Amino acid sequence: MPSYIVNFNLKSVNRAQMRRDLITTFINEQPGTGNGNNASRYRYNVENLNANYSIFLKRPTMLNKGFDFTVNISGMLFKKQRTYSNPSHSDIINALTYCKNNFSVIYRNDIIPILNNIYNCKPVNVSVLSGATFIDYQGVSHPIEIILLAVKWLFMEQDCAYWNYSGRAMFYNALKQNNLV
């Protein structure tokens, strides 16, 4: 089966409509005909930061929940037992903590309001954050903006997987517990 690359633009600013738009896009996927090479695979390009970084969603994943996807950052790797392009919640928390500790004024004045706006499904402009960075597991510096864009899609992933429970609130509460919002 072929792999498909789709450019997806999330236009809604209402949480329920955002979820509906994304899931409707998934519903329109072509079916696979089996496992392995017979599975249909999708990459949804959803955000571009600059020529070096972008966010893409990858389907299917190993979770097999139906509307599951991973949020990936091209141009970066994260370390678990091996390297991955999809950050975990702890990777995000570590990046935000580094930024908060090293760019406290930008973090307090700009990043916290952006995180809250992302959580509340309000449009954000991450390009206002010139200079704030974080360090990855290899010691390489990256712009914090790419982590904020990943947070947006991790909230969406939580809404798709856990809508009937708390959805995006689970990850947001983890950010609160770590004093990041």
pLDDT (tens digit per residue) in 104-131: 999 999 999 999 999 999 999 898 777 8
Query: Residue 170's pLDDT is what?
Result: 92
Query: Residue 1's pLDDT is what?
Result: 55
Q: Which residues in the chain come in under a pLDDT of 70? A: 1-2, 63-66
Query: Residue 176's pLDDT is what?
Result: 97
Q: How many CB atoms within 10 Å of residue 36?
A: 7
Local structure of residue 30 (DSSP, 8 states)? P
Query: Residue 151's pLDDT is what?
Result: 98
Query: Residue 83's pLDDT is what?
Result: 86
Query: Residue 138's pLDDT is what?
Result: 87
Query: In terms of Cα–Cα distance, which of 160, 168, 171 is closest to 67?
Result: 160
Place of tokens 């309000």: 122
Q: What burial letters (b/e) apply to 168-178, b meaning 16+ CB within 10 Å? A: beebbeebeeb
Q: Which residues contact 33 (CB under 8 A, 6 or more apart)?
A: 1
Are residues 97 and 178 in contact, defined by beta-carbon separation less than 8 angstroms? yes
Q: Give one DSSP letter per residue of 99-139, joined into a string.
A: HHHHSHHHIIIIIHHHHHHHHTT----GGG-TT-EEE-TTS
Query: Residue 63's pLDDT is what?
Result: 65
Query: Residue 10's pLDDT is what?
Result: 87
Query: How many whole angstroms separate alpha carbon 74 and alpha carbon 32?
Result: 25
